[in-house]
Amino acid sequence: MKNIRYWVAFISILIVYGIAGENKASNIHGRDDLPAEPPIIASKADTISKAIDKIIHQAHFNGSILVGYKDYVLYENAIGLINLKTNDSLSSETPFQLASVSKSFTALAILMLVQDSLIRLDEKVKHYIQEFPYPTVTVRHLLNHTSGIPNYFKLAAQYWPKNKPMNNEDMLVLLVKHKLRLQFTPGTNFRYSNTGYAILALLVERVSKTPFDEFLKNRIFLPLGMQNTFTYDRQIMDTLTIALGHRSNRPNPSLFDFDPVDEVLGDKSIFSTPADLFLYNRAWTTDILINENLRKEAFTRATLKNRKVVDYGFGWRFKKVDGKDIIYHNGLWHGFTATFTRIPDSEITVIILNNTNAHVSTLAHQIIKEITPLLELDHKQDNISAN
């Protein structure tokens, strides 16, 4: 059944991309450590594969995509080019910048230290980072984007040399030195904050006494088997085969230059692949890294002091689409766009990574709308059998 599905998908891609002379495409059989064929009939798998192929072809998609059902890979594909000017082809193992999808890793790291009794969610950040200039801000405020702390991007643009890398300690020094006013009283409003998650990464370093990149590698990436996942390091980036971020797609693509804040971690700058991110999904659906109560905390909407509920938890956003609850996070940074989107009730996961500023969240919703009816019957039957 697996061979039938992939040969059908492979032939359809040859027709769509090969004959037309456009971007190269290949359906990937998947890594050995990913779950095998889902328990659905071959005809349904073929239909799903063809539907997704059609959606991404119409979007002129350049990037990497994985669609999962429960713990199974339904569809995996790498389409197009690493660099649109050199015509280097993407593969399923080509890492992409995750941009703000990285925030869920930061939240997970914090929760692991909460589980280790080293961090308390409602403790003031200043308790752990003494020089932190905002004494009323708590760890929870940072996780929920309700802290009101200012944007470090503006400080970096104004006061930091253009060719000098900045790390999280450097970012804190800027905050301490310039001590801009809070944008609002912590807990009274929601304002998306890259600074908050960069501070959380620094908090992980201070509490664990381990560099943030090493913490992620040793306690998240390696335990989950994420073989192609790492954090940005300017010293080694030129030695790696990674996707490059473009300002636009053809006909006149251009690459982004080095940005000093690329090496500030926590808010962005994790590189990964869809296959690795599907492995990472287990961190949020099983007890493999944190217990169920902490996962529920992460998936609980923030509540402001005026009782207003915000559609953000810890590193995850929430919304309803066609009446279905969706847990997701998107990312945008220097030509890279990313989405990690899950429908918990249907157990569908869509991971899309792109390096040409594509609207990947729109693609994810189109895919979900197309394939959900094909899978819901199986999902309902499985639930009946389990009961």
**Whether the Cβ atoms of residue 1 and residue 45 lie closer than 8 Å to each other:** yes
In a shared domain, residues 22 and 164: no
**Residue 47: CB atoms within 10 Å:** 16
Q: What residues does 319 pair with on adjacent strands?
A: 326
How many domains would you assign to the chain? Answer: 2
The H or E element spanning position 278 is helix 274-280
In a shared domain, residues 107 and 222: yes
Give the pairing of strands 72-79 and 81-83: unpaired
- Residue 223 inside a domain? The answer is yes
Written as six digits, the tokens of 122 are 């409602």
- Return the pLDDT at 42: 59
| Phi, psi for residue 269 in degrees, rounded to 5 | 70, 25
- Residue 10 inside a domain? The answer is yes
- Return the pLDDT at 387: 46
- Residue 375 inside a domain? The answer is no
- Residue 151 inside a domain? The answer is yes
SS3 266: coil
The CATH number given to whatever domain includes residue 241 is 3.40.710.10
Write the DSSP assignment of 119-158 as a string of letters: --TTSBGGGTSTT-S-TT-BHHHHHHT-S-PPPHHHHHHH
Separation CA 316–CA 354 (nearest Å): 20
In a shared domain, residues 110 and 252: yes
- Residue 367 inside a domain? The answer is no
Q: Please give the C-alpha separations between residue 24 and each of 11, 47, 79, 338, in angstroms, as whole numbers.
A: 13, 22, 6, 20
In a shared domain, residues 131 and 191: yes
- Residue 343 inside a domain? The answer is no
In a shared domain, residues 259 and 198: yes
- Residue 176 inside a domain? The answer is yes
In a shared domain, residues 127 and 261: yes
Closest CA to 142 of 87, 184, 198: 198
In a shared domain, residues 264 and 132: yes
- Return the pLDDT at 17: 34
Where in the sequence is the domain holding 8, given as residue range(s)? 1-58
In a shared domain, residues 105 and 253: yes
Separation CA 285–CA 288 (nearest Å): 9
pLDDT tens by residue, the chain, 387 residues? 433 333 333 333 333 333 232 333 333 334 556 555 555 555 688 899 999 999 999 999 999 999 999 989 999 999 999 999 888 999 999 999 999 999 999 999 999 999 999 999 999 999 999 999 999 999 999 999 999 999 999 999 999 999 999 999 999 999 999 999 999 999 999 999 999 999 999 999 999 999 999 999 999 999 999 999 999 998 888 899 999 999 876 667 889 988 999 999 999 999 999 999 999 999 999 999 999 999 999 999 999 999 999 999 999 999 998 889 999 999 999 999 999 999 999 999 999 999 999 999 999 999 999 999 888 755 555 544 444
What secondary structure letter does DSSP report for 197? H
- Return the pLDDT at 27: 34
